[in-house]
Amino acid sequence: MQKIIILDTTLRDGEQAPGNSMLAYEKTEMALQLEKLGVDVIEAGFAAASPDDAESVKQIAAIIKNATVCSLSRCKKEDIDIAYEALKGAVKSRLHLFLATSPLHMQYKLELTEQEVLDKIDTSVRYARSLFSEVQFSCEDATRSNRDFLLKAIEVAIGAGAQIIGIPDTVGYSFPEEIKELFQLVSERFPGVVFSAHCHNDLGLAVANTLAAIEGGAKQIDCTVNGIGERAGNTALEEVVLALHTRKDHYDVENGIVLKQISPTSQMLTALTGTKIAANKPIVGKNVFLHESGIHQHGILQHRSTYEILDPSELGIVQNNIVLGKHSGKHALYEYLSSMDIRVSDEELNDLFERFKLLADKKKIVTHKDIMYLISHGHNVKIARLYSLESYSIITVKGSSAVATLKLKTGDEIKIGEGSGDGPLDAAFKTINRIIGKDFMLLDWSSSAITEGEDALGAATLRLEYKGKKVTGRGVSTDTVEASILAYVNACNKILQ
């Protein structure tokens, strides 16, 4: 069977979309999870975009051992040099060059002639190959490019040494039949070259177009977890992988994705970015394996395949008969994780057990969803806790302002503050600002129950801005107000560190 290379661009194309930005340590956490997921190439960022991007690419290159680490780069010598410095510590590295080839982009964005574009491709790819053993060149806006010129650009890039050629549907313009025909053409014209599909979802066709590209001969696909990305997003990794898995009879291809890591990876990304997943989102939405219709319920009880073509246990969405509570020890937690086929290091187990015990003190039974949420939110404890919540009290009276009193610990000092607001959260957030002495601005806030029952675990997610810097904060508690305060303090710590 032909193996399809999976290039994940969650940390580059996905992360650069509004609301999805991550700090460097959050990107490294996500990169490690992508390695567990089994992606072949991790596009870690755009090193030349900023010093922060270069540093995060460098950090990811230093810790990833199995996947290839890649950086995007414009066809500029200075960009290529910055990417080389960021990637030189990687076990396996790749440079991903791009340049637009459509008349629209060449005229209005690049202001270059066709010959100038071809010369730039040739010079940049040759220079990149002098530094990197693996180079990918992508023709930005390929699907709106003149066909003859696109073929010339591909020929020049291959001649200069590019081994992988990207054919992006940059604005999600094409239909599946067009994509398939285009990939058949380039695959026949340039045999032995790896052609990559990079599809956007502006018309809701990213997954369909990616699958059509594979039918046409694509040997690599670019995708993101949960389909995040600019505008309407990119090809959703989990959707295209499960389509290939479920319909092996049709596609006859394989890939290296570990299916049981799909759900944990999706949850971790949600935790890092705060971007919600629609309930009906294919594969990872919460409604995918729920059935309310009586006819559907009857069918499922008789045989699951009547209304389910996917096995939730294959995706890491499983239940377990082991009951965990405040009296459970570390060994019981380890056995529970092992039964779920979840592998953790001793350090990760110790950290998880500490947070598990704190939660178990508040709940009678810690459920599977609780455990999965604790795993996916493990990154929160790695934030430098300049401030932590000691205690709080809020008094609210209908028709009047709420009054909050908070105690925050910073180092060995306890700081106490009091403030009022239009409601309990407004009062609490203003009090935190007063204690810390910064005018943080709340941009967005949401909360939701992530488990069931009267003692359900609730998650609060919010975004703060301070002097142009925007961060996402998260908090988890059985008390929504406490979860929100924890999320606010979490965001403050991110800004301050």
pLDDT at 294: 52
pLDDT at 448: 76
pLDDT at 311: 76
Q: What does the H/E/C string look like for the chain?
A: CEECEEEECHHHHHCCCCCCCCCHHHHHHHHHHHHHHCCCEEEEECHHHCHHHHHHHHHHHHHCCCCEEEEEEECCHHHHHHHHHHHCCCCCEEEEEEEECCHHHHHHHHCCCHHHHHHHHHHHHHHHHHHCCCEEEEEECHHHCCHHHHHHHHHHHHHHCCCEEEEEECCCCCCHHHHHHHHHHHHHHCCCCEEEEEEECCCCCHHHHHHHHHHHCCCEEEEEHHHCCCCCCECEHHHHHHHHHHCHHHHCEECCCCHHHHHHHHHHHHHHHCCCCCCCCCCCCCCCCCCCCHHHHHHHHHCHHHCCCCCHHHHCCCCCCCCECCCCCHHHHHHHHHHCCCCCCHHHHHHHHHHHHHHHCCCCCECHHHHHHHHHCHHHHHCCCCCEEEEEEEECCCCCCEEEEEEEEECCEEEEEEEEECCHHHHHHHHHHHHHCCCCEEEEEEEEECCCCCCCCEEEEEEEEECCEEEEEEEEECCHHHHHHHHHHHHHHHHHC
- Structural domain spans, the chain: 2-273, 294-380, 383-496
pLDDT at 26: 86
Ordered mean pLDDT values, 10 residues apiece, the chain (497 residues) = 96 89 87 96 97 95 97 98 98 98 97 98 98 98 98 98 98 97 98 97 98 98 96 97 95 94 88 82 78 47 62 66 73 79 80 83 73 65 75 90 95 94 95 96 85 70 89 85 93 90
pLDDT at 341: 67
pLDDT at 291: 43
Task: Decide yes or no: CATH 3.40.120.10 for domain 2-273.
Answer: no
Task: Decide yes or no: CATH 3.30.160.270 for domain 383-496.
Answer: yes
pLDDT at 333: 84
